[in-house]
Structure 1
Amino acid sequence: MTGIVILTGYAGQISLGHAGFAGIGAYACALAPIYLGLHPGLAIVLGAAISAALAYLVGRPILQLRGYYLGVASLGMGILIFMVLSNERQITKGPDGIDVPELGLRALLKDWGLNLTNGEFWYAFTGLCLLIGAWIALNLYNSPSGRALRALHGSEIAARTVGVDVAKYKLQAFVISAVYASVSGSLLALQNKFVSPDVAGYMHSIEMVTMAVLGGAGSVLGAIFGAGILTLCRRR
């Protein structure tokens, strides 16, 4: 959802397929330990790298579009990722989903004398990740890149007139937001110890956008508030 703030709130671009990147991150944590022998922590990095590369390759053509056309193109990308995860049964186990190995940090903390329950650990760990992600996004806001993103949000023509490389900064925002989505998908999979293709589904993309918009798409803190409100309402 913080990635959506950077893409939509800062750069003014619409994406309805970001759950696809969350799916890549989630399945990286499930499949990389099995097929590559990677630790789940390294699988998070691998998923983020794959998502960044895909966002770069896909973003170059689709970010030439604007408005609803960009939204539809990104939606198609997300649906395509969902279909691959659902249909490649030999690798992903299809709609039945697949188990995700333990991250191992809770056991390490226990060895250090900090015995946390599973819920306590994940509240603390994801909270720390949220703070780091929010800190990066807030620092980006007032950086030269952040000012360029906000300039093209206001008017791409005006931004181009004052020397902003519109295509470059739109692509940067798309790649950064994809990495955020991938990491969030990885953390979700590791917390639940299970993942299914639904993590890359259309409704998850809509949920991510709703979380960001509910508290104000241009505000990192507002998006966090919106995510909290939507999560609480969903559980009632």
Structure 2
Amino acid sequence: MPFWINWIGGYTALGTRLLVMALAAMSLNFLLGFTGVLSFGHAAYFGLGAYGVGMTITYLVPSTPIGILVGVAVGTLAAAIIGALIVRLRGVYFAMATIAFGQVFYFIAFRWNAVTGGDDGLSGWHRMPIDLGFATVDILSNGTVFYYFVLFFFALSVAIMAGILRSPFGRTLLAIRENERRARYLGIPIEKHVWLSFVISCFFVSLAGTLYGLLNNFADPHALRWDQSGEFVIMSVLGGMRSLWGPLIGAAIFVVVQDYISSRTENWMSFIGLLFVLVVLFFPRGVLGIIRKKANP
């Protein structure tokens, strides 16, 4: 992508952002599309990942790998605790609970000016050179190299998610999605599986958040807000939420349309909303569903 995206009016950072958002959307889809549980609070763990890497580099250790580990650990730990509190809820109650907890993290980041930078965000830090022990290599400052750095984590994460979904555990998640009551009668511990699905999903969305923070060399409260979670849901549904690759297509459409239209009007979300409504009304299986239908009439 870095070699041809400029030819069509794009830029390398746009391709990197597409991968980050696709990973976040696919992470949410692990819970929504394959377990059947809707979360509107995934932005909390996405933002915790971004703040985790930023605050580690700013206040603790000026190391990109350690910052990524801390960001992912913080987001996953928060998800494990919160998931245990809300795992018995279903439907709109689960979704509203995730929003509520997500907004708690948002207001902490928004109000804690001395540490998080408040509404101005956490700035003044950047991707650090990688210390190999015998040498220090400053390669991540290059946009093309950082794209492949993100691509590596994206590919690894998707491979792990695909492997999990093909395992007996993944098949159990599908059973819960299709008929939770029947799965419970079969003796499946529903709450345990939903909790694990939630934690795994948040692990990967936290990783996406750390990469997002490193991409921008910046973390701001908007990454924690509920409307960011809404964007992840839109990407998943737009592309096709019951498929592994659907959210990737949805993220590509969302990111490209947002970048193109937002440079021309502040009301870019209206166009995204109209496109989303049309897809939901006429193509409920998303864009990938349209492609598959054309390929297999």
Q: Same fold (TM over 0.5)?
A: yes
Change (3 A) 1:35 1:109: closer
Percent identity for Structure 1 against Structure 2: 30
Structure 2 contact 45–202 (Cα < 8 Å) conserved: yes
Measure the CA separation in 1 of the matches of 2:62 and 2:196: 28
Alignment of 1:147-186 (within 5 A): 147-186=171-210
Instruction: Give the letter aligned to residue 108 of structure 1.
Output: V
Cα shift at 1:37 = 2.0
Report the secondary structure of 1:68's partner residue.
Answer: helix
Structure 1 or 2, whichever has the larger Rg, is 2
Task: Give the TM-score taking structure 1 as reference length.
Answer: 0.92
Q: How many residues align?
A: 231
Specify every segment of 5 or more residues in structure 1 that has no aligned partner in the other structure, as ranges. 111-115
Partner of 1:195: 219
Change (3 A) 1:32 1:117: closer
Structure 2 contact 128–138 (Cα < 8 Å) conserved: no
Of 108, 114, 126, which aligns to 1:101?
126
Cα shift at 1:105 = 4.7
Report the secondary structure of 1:194's partner residue.
Answer: coil
Change (3 A) 1:215 1:171: same
Instruction: Give the letter aligned to residue 102 of structure 1.
Output: R
Instruction: Give the letter aligned to residue 10 of structure 1.
Output: F
Measure the CA separation in 2 of the matches of 1:34 and 1:123: 23
Higher relative contact order (CA 8 A, sep 6+): 1
Measure the CA separation in 1 of the matches of 2:177 and 2:162: 17
Where in structure 1 do 4 or more consecutive aligned residues deviate above 4 Å? none
Partner of 1:130: 154
Q: For residues 80-126 of structure 1, what are the alpha-carbon distances to aligned partners after superposition, in whole Å with 9 as ceiling and x for unaligned? A: 1110101011111101112232142597275xxxxx87321232222
Partner of 1:212: 236
Measure the CA separation in 2 of the matches of 1:206 and 1:159: 29
Measure the CA separation in 2 of the matches of 1:124 and 1:164: 40
Structure 1 contact 4–217 (Cα < 8 Å) conserved: no
Report the secondary structure of 1:164's partner residue.
Answer: coil
Measure the CA separation in 2 of the matches of 1:6 and 1:132: 15
Partner of 2:50: 26
Cα shift at 1:195 = 1.4
Structure 2 contact 40–98 (Cα < 8 Å) conserved: yes
- 1:58 equivalenced with 2:82 (yes/no): yes
Of 211, 222, 231, which aligns to 2:255?
231
Specify every segment of 5 or more residues in structure 2 that has no aligned partner in the other structure, as ranges. 1-24, 261-297
Cα shift at 1:196 = 1.1
Report the secondary structure of 1:220's partner residue.
Answer: coil
Measure the CA separation in 1 of the matches of 2:85 and 2:28: 19
Q: For residues 158-190 of structure 1, what are the alpha-carbon distances to aligned partners after superposition, in whole Å with 9 as ceiling and x for unaligned? A: 111222110111000110111111111110111
Structure 2 contact 49–75 (Cα < 8 Å) conserved: yes
Partner of 2:110: 86
More displaced stretch, 96-105 vs 24-33: 96-105
CA RMSD, Structure 1 to Structure 2 (Å): 1.8
Change (3 A) 1:84 1:159: same
Task: Give the TM-score taking structure 2 as reference length.
Answer: 0.74
Measure the CA separation in 2 of the matches of 1:54 and 1:109: 32
Of 74, 84, 106, which aligns to 2:98?
74
- 1:35 equivalenced with 2:59 (yes/no): yes
Measure the CA separation in 1 of the matches of 2:257 and 2:225: 20
Of 70, 88, 111, which aligns to 1:46?
70
More displaced stretch, 186-195 vs 118-127: 118-127
Structure 2 contact 63–129 (Cα < 8 Å) conserved: no
Structure 1 contact 103–190 (Cα < 8 Å) conserved: no
